[in-house]
Amino acid sequence: MDFYNNKNITIFSHPLIKHKISLLRDRESSTNKFRQLVEEIAMLEAYEALKDLPLKDVEVETPLETCMTPMIDGLKLAIIPVLRAGLGMVPGIEALVPSARIGHIGMYRDEKTHKPVTYFCKLPQNIDKRISIIVDPMLATGGSAVDAVSMLKEKGAVKIKFVCILAAPEGLEKLATEHPDVQIYVGQLDRCLNKDAYICPGLGDAGDRIFGTK
């Protein structure tokens, strides 16, 4: 698949995103530093990923006169982190869109099969009328992302974006093939998966590094 010419896939080239991802990869980066970087990268990615939000002109009274001026239209955006690691991306996006509603999808990868196991799903009301932005730093085999999008669609969501920090080619292809209507945003496309389905060169286990659990 030609990722770079797929209109629904954006692979970021901004130097700030690239620089911060390199710092994130460093095994010496502390938990504190890692968490801060994940937040910052999420904010930069979301700024770009939300550039097509719909606008509507509303009337505003300035100190000088009344004017029609654009504001974001529709129901509040839904940010949906895939637990646990997706949680680390939420504060950076919330800083841009403080009124966003937050849903949660709980999933972990089975260590042997590498298949996702879902244990929780709680979404904002009227998800069918909102733009949903699923966040998870890692798109590895793509199993978790595909299931998270499917779950959101089952609950009625129609306008879905998926934002990650690192992707493996295998996972990106799987997500783009199984959900061609979803807009996918990737901080950096990495080389491959290893035999344990970890992204290489990658950054290790994102959840453990964000929460300091290993």
Residues noted as catalytic: 109, 113, 205, 208
Which partner, ligand PRP, ligand URA, none, binds residue 82 by CB below 5 to 8 Å per kind? Answer: ligand PRP
Instruction: Give min distance, CB of 181 to ligand URA, in A.
Output: 24
Angle between helices 15-25 and 31-49 (to 10 degrees): 150
Does 157 engage in binding with ligand URA (CB under 6 A)? no
Does 175 engage in binding with ligand URA (CB under 6 A)? no
Determine the Cα–Cα distance for residues 28 and 13; give it in Å rounded to an integer.
Answer: 25
Q: If 0-12 CB within 10 Å is exposed, 13-18 middle and 19+ buried, where does residue 89 land?
A: buried
Does 149 engage in binding with ligand PRP (CB under 6 A)? no
- Which of 12, 80, 206, 209 is in the footprint of ligand PRP by CB under 6 A? 206
Does 198 engage in binding with ligand URA (CB under 6 A)? yes
Candidates 162, 196, 211; CA nearest to 182 is 162
- How many residues touch ligand URA under the rule CB under 6 A: the total is 9
What are the angstrom distances between the C-alpha of 87 and each of 104, 134, 163, 174, 214? 9, 11, 12, 23, 17
Using the rule CB under 6 A, give the single segment among 46-54, 127-135, 179-187, 196-204 that binds ligand URA.
196-204
3-class state of residue 83 by DSSP: strand
Interacting residues toward ligand URA by CB under 6 A: 85, 138, 140, 198-199, 202, 205-207
